[in-house]
Amino acid sequence: MALTFWYGCNMTRHGEVIRLAMRLLDAVGIEAEATGGPASCCGSPKEADARISGGMAERTVAKFNASGTPQVATWCPSCHMNMQDWMAPGMPRNFETLHLTEVLHARRAALRPLLVHPVPARVLLHRHLGFGGRVPVNRMVAGLLALVPGLTLVEHPLAVPGHMCSSLATVPGALARAQRATLEAMAASGADTLCTIFHSCHRDAVTLERGRPIRVLNWVHLLAMAAGWPAEDGYKAWRNAADPRAAVGEAGLAAAGEAGFERLVEPELRRPPPA
């Protein structure tokens, strides 16, 4: 089976998640080609301009059609929703769209024998309400985490509004309130680990580790740990460093370019945490 893994534009901050997701797909017998970044954009960054966003989306659909793979597996819920709502209905396509969690959940029998390393953790799943009507990601990620030996998924009713945390950004104080509620839920349930599903949530949640005896991991990290694969979270190390520039290091700065780092990366790494 072959598919295109469409990881979106903003996942490039989390290169290890992309690589580990590809490794998981390969491990369950799926030949995948990864694509993302501006060259494979769904158009959401330019939604205010229909001409520009439409052109970006049209190029992306044409690229997927040309690949010849019958399926495109998404990561980003915004990309997935845009494909469903207006990209696919408005343009001819020769592929179906699934979410990565659907693909791996359907092959969990092949995944189970790989997950032999215990991951002792009491995990609260960071759930959102806004995407579950399209893809039951909360249930599917919970099902995948149930394969991990030593991991206990705690029960708590908390579910955050929106499809991921970036959707809260336009509502003053909403993200901080959501994070405070998450910390309260972890304390009430005895969780020591917060498991994120999407990249936007992960970027903001990693700062919750500061001064607290908790861990913030993505579900892909947890599966990789159970498989015995290295799963170092470089972004989290940078974001929580006292000196982000020193944490990135000279080699990282050279790769990014000094001007690009100062303009695009450093302000985000130094931004005060929401909660």
Instruction: Give the pLDDT confidence of 191-236 residue by residue, as tens digits.
Output: 999 999 999 999 999 999 999 999 999 999 999 999 999 999 999 9
Closest CA to 219 of 118, 101, 131, 132: 101
Same domain, 60 and 128: no
The distance of Cα 104 from the centroid of its chain, to the nearest Å, equals 14
DSSP state of 42: -
pLDDT above 90 covers what percent of the chain? 80
Tell me, what's the pLDDT at 55? Answer: 78
pTM more than 0.75:
yes
Lowest mean pLDDT among 7-16, 147-156, 196-205, 247-256: 7-16
Same domain, 171 and 153: yes
Residues spanned by the domain of 176: 116-275
Instruction: Give the pLDDT confidence of 147-196 residue by residue, as tens digits.
Output: 999 999 999 999 999 999 999 988 999 999 999 999 999 999 999 999 99
Residues 125-140 have a mean pLDDT of 96
Does 111 map to a domain?
A: no
Closest CA to 142 of 124, 160, 116, 130: 124
What's the rounded Cα separation, in Å, for the pair 73 and 55?
Answer: 21
Predicted confidence (pLDDT) at residue 48 exceeds the cutoff of 80: no
From edge to edge, which strands make up the β-sheet containing 151-153? 151-153, 121-125, 193-196, 215-218
- Domain tally, the chain: 2
Q: Specify the 3-state DSSP secondary structure of 15.
A: helix
* Tokens at 116, concatenated: 């032999």
Tell me, what's the pLDDT at 38? Answer: 81
CATH of the domain at 59: 3.40.50.1860
* Tokens at 173, concatenated: 């104080």
* Residues 6 or more apart in contact with residue 97 via CB below 8 angstroms: 71, 72, 73, 74, 80, 83, 84, 88
